Structure 1
Amino acid sequence: MNIVWIGFGKMGEPMALRVAAAGHALQVFDVSDERRAAARAQNLEVIGSLEGLVGDADVIVSSLPNDAAALQVLAGEGGALTHARAGALLIETSTISASASASLAKVADARQLGYLRAPISGSVSAAANGTLTTFISGPEAVIERAGPIVSTYASTIRVVGDAEQARVMKLAVNLMVTTLVASLGEAYALCAKGGISPKVALDAISASAIGSPHLKFKADALERRDFTPTFTVAQMRKDLKLISDGARELSVPVLLGAAVEQIMCATEASGFGGEDYIACAKVIAGLSGLTI
């Protein structure tokens, strides 16, 4: 298939490389000079404009940072969807709101495009290994068409509906992920003040009934004092806003999510916005009279 890949960022790069390695003809578009250079360094063809070449694409795949970027690059004046040919397929993998996604759906329908909502969950290494999880929703025929591409970077594919359900599912998972990490920070502080060494405490937490691959990964990073970002505090704050806004629209209380949003706000205000979101443990420790 001829594919235009829009967004060659932290997650977009390894995903695009897997799609290209599967034998698809891939052209990359990104607004960043640095990211375009990174694509060229991987021997991928880079396009400087969406006009023209998008019209020849069978598939458009987008990996963009937020609602505003997705709406502008895809549906804005001169955006990708305005140049796409009828019958082409859009696979949108970003974490964006259901309302922004619904706006994209209207444009896609008007242009007679297939539209798959396909936000992904997982790390950069999972993207490189093709072991991401993706939640997908859309018409059955669109899901079937997209399968060969999605399966190049995701080993777990969950179909959750025929419209915007995938957007809600991704936010629900991120709500649980960030709440788990914040509670890990509180448990760590509690153990430290209770006289338990960090390694013993974190190993015990990881081996307990609450243990999960993600918790163990974050506990290991906390034990090593490694706050190298896999997902930054600033990025998590963006997702928490999407969660709170989406929950408000659906009249769902997210009481724990609201508390975690304030913790992440304090973490970013403390100068840790560019660090991994496990850095919230440093702020929680500080409130407890501890230093990490």
Structure 2
Amino acid sequence: MNVALLGTGLLGQAVAERLHATGHHLSAYNRTPDKTLSLRQQGIHIASTAAEAIASAEVVMLLLADAAAIRAVLLDPSTSQALRGRATIQMGTIGPSESCSIGEEIERLGGQYLEAPVLGSIAEAKAGTLLIMVGATPERYATWSPLLHALSSDVRLIGPVGKAAVMKLALNQLIAAETAAFALSLGLIRRGGVDVENFMAVLRKSALYAPTFDKKLARLAERNYAQPNFSARHLLKDVELTLAAADSARLSPGGLPGVRSLLIDTIALGLGDVDYSALYERVDPVTGT
């Protein structure tokens, strides 16, 4: 299938590599050309504009940072007319109201719109093991799920546009909350002089355990946040979206504003573009900092 992929950040690049490896023909575009160099070296066509990428494609896949980026890249007058007669699959994390609004604009331009946010990151994208949540009509889901199955064996129709975006925020706020909670627990253990492995051994046998704790343990223990799968800056964006969605739904956000503050402070430390587990530096700072 001929695919235009817009947005080649960490996840977008991995998705492009997977689609290319499974036999799809890609034309990729990114506003920062340096982020496309490795894809070019793999034989993937790199377009100089979004309109060029879309021109020969049957479907447009969006892996852009946020709704503002989608509007700037896709709904610019120089690009938007190319959407007529094509499907656009939005795979990033944006708010449900943002997804519905963007979908309505694409439909008015004569295109089709689906949302398909994912759970998982670089390794899962390259292996084809992402979890994909689809917001669309049943008919559009049936048409485009075979393409999405190149990236996942678990592609689920959640409901109409907007519903998958809600589910994605519900899951991503758990990432933020669990990481902040684990950082505090680990800080207490280390400052209290308790053996970390004893703590982990008990935690792993309890109902409190989540696999993400072991995934992040080495990063926190070594204070090594390089080569991120997902940055602190992007997690803050998702926390902000969750808080807005919770407010719209008249829900109390509990401790999430506190996690938001941790992430803001983490970014202020110059750690916005490293792994989001760097919030540990705010929870348990090095003595004297």
In 1, distance between residues paired with 2:175 and 2:213?
9
CA drift of 1:43 comes to 0.6
Q: Tell me the distance in 1 between the aligned counterparts of 2:187 and 2:102.
A: 44
CA contact (8 A) 2:135 2:159 kept: yes
Shift of 1:75: 1.5
Which residue is 1:50 aligned to?
50
CA contact (8 A) 1:120 1:133 kept: yes
> Structure 2: 5+ residue runs without aligned partners?
none
Instruction: Say whether 1:108 aligns with 2:140.
Output: no
Alignment match, 1:185: 183
Counterpart amino acid of residue 239 in structure 1:
D
Aligned residue in 2 for 1:41: 41
Q: Is the 8 A contact 2:89 2:113 kept in 1?
A: yes
Counterpart mapping for 1:122-133 below 5 A: 122-133=120-131
> What amino acid sits opposite 1:5 in the alignment?
L
Q: Contact between 1:89 and 1:142, CA under 8 Å: does it hold in 2?
A: no
The corresponding residue for 2:25 is: 25
Q: What is the alpha-carbon distance in structure 1 between the residues aligned to residue 197 and residue 281 of structure 2?
A: 16
Which residue matches 1:280? 279
The verdict on how the C-alpha distance between 1:206 and 1:278 changes in structure 2, with shifts beyond 3 A counting, is farther
How many Å separate the matches in 1 of 2:247 and 2:23? 43
Contact 1:206/1:215, CA 8 A, preserved across alignment: no
Alpha carbons 1:233, 1:273 under 8 Å: kept: yes
Determine the structure 2 residue equivalent to 1:253: 252
> Per the alignment, in what secondary structure is the counterpart of residue 40 of structure 1?
helix
Shift of 1:207: 4.2
Measured against aligned partners, the alpha-carbon deviations of 1:128-151 in whole angstroms (never above 9, x if no partner) come to 111111211111111111111111
8 Å CA contact retained: 2:90, 2:116 = yes
TM-score by length of 2: 0.92
Q: 2:233: which partner in 1?
A: 234
Q: Aligned partners of 1:15 and 1:54: how far apart in 2?
A: 17
SS of the residue corresponding to residue 178 of structure 2 reads helix
2:61 match? 61
Residue matched to 1:139? 137
More deviation, 181-190/225-234 = 225-234
Q: Does 1:270 align with 2:264?
A: no
Say whether the 8 Å CA contact 1:57–1:84 is kept in structure 2. no
TM-score by length of 1: 0.91
Which amino acid letter does the alignment assign opposite residue 185 of structure 1? A
Q: Which moved more, 1:197-206 or 1:148-157?
A: 197-206
Q: Could you report, residue by residue, the CA deviation over 1:211-249 in whole angstroms, capped at 9, with x for unpaired residues? A: 222222012332343222221211111111111122222
Residue 244 of structure 1 corresponds to which residue in structure 2?
243
Equivalent pair of 1:206/1:219 in contact (CA under 8 Å): no
Q: Could you say if the C-alpha distance between residues 116 and 9 of structure 1 is closer, same or farther in structure 2, counting changes exceeding 3 Å?
A: same
Distance 2:202 2:153 in 1: 30
% same residue: 25
Which has the larger displacement, 277-286 or 39-48?
A: 277-286
Find 1:214's aligned residue among 203, 212, 215.
212
Q: Distance in 2 between matches of 1:21 and 1:85?
A: 28
- Distance in 1 of aligned mates of 2:156 and 2:221: 33
For residues 31 and 143 of structure 1, the distance between their equivalents in structure 2, rounded to whole angstroms, comes to 29
Q: How many residues align?
A: 288
Q: Judge which range, 216-225 or 7-16, deviates more.
A: 216-225
Q: Deviations over 1:15-35 (max 9, x none)?
A: 112112222221111111202
Q: Is the 8 A contact 1:55 1:85 kept in 2?
A: no
Evaluate the alpha carbon distance shift between residue 291 and residue 165 of structure 1 in structure 2; reply closer, same or farther with a 3 A threshold. farther
Q: Which moved further from structure 2: 243-252 or 203-212?
A: 203-212
The RMSD of aligned alpha carbons is 2.0
Contact 2:8 2:29 (C-alpha < 8 Å) held by counterparts: yes
